[in-house]
Amino acid sequence: EVQLQASGGGLVQAGGSLRLSCAASGITFDDYAIGWFRQAPGKEREGVSCISRRDGRTYYADSVKGRFTISSDNAKNTVYLQMNSLQPEDTAVYFCAASLKNSWIATMTCTITLYDYRGQGTLVTVSS
């Protein structure tokens, strides 16, 4: 059974940093993608950043380019999202998801509908 465990959310002041972790288990092959998505009240769900487990290819939403960095520790089956220069508009529930069937296109488009498994969310609150 595929399971994803997200952690690392919290309250931070504007300009601060947080690192989110997504620990994956139950995935028995290497060709999959992990994505970070966020949902803020009154806003559409957004694909923040995605990474290919196989070749490390990444995607970033324009809203986070230059501030967020996604990385993968394959030995630990964990994907990280380092978030720097956080702004109040980054406030949202962040969750990670795995795409096992469409890893390439799922990485390149970071579209939630291409992701098969989702973990629970972790709340990130950025105060002004």
* pLDDT, mean over the chain: 95
Instruction: Yes or no: say if 49 and 58 are a contact pair by the CB < 8 Å rule.
Output: yes
Instruction: Yes or no: say if 100 and 89 are a contact pair by the CB < 8 Å rule.
Output: no
The pLDDT-based confidence of 100 (bands split at 50, 70, 90) is very high
The pLDDT-based confidence of 29 (bands split at 50, 70, 90) is confident
SS3 81: strand
Q: Which of 43, 53, 65, 62 has the alpha carbon at shortest distance from 107?
A: 53
% pLDDT > 70, the chain: 100
Q: What's the mean pLDDT in 56-83?
A: 96
Q: What's the mean pLDDT in 31-46?
A: 95
Instruction: Yes or no: say if 53 and 28 are a contact pair by the CB < 8 Å rule.
Output: no
The pLDDT-based confidence of 21 (bands split at 50, 70, 90) is very high
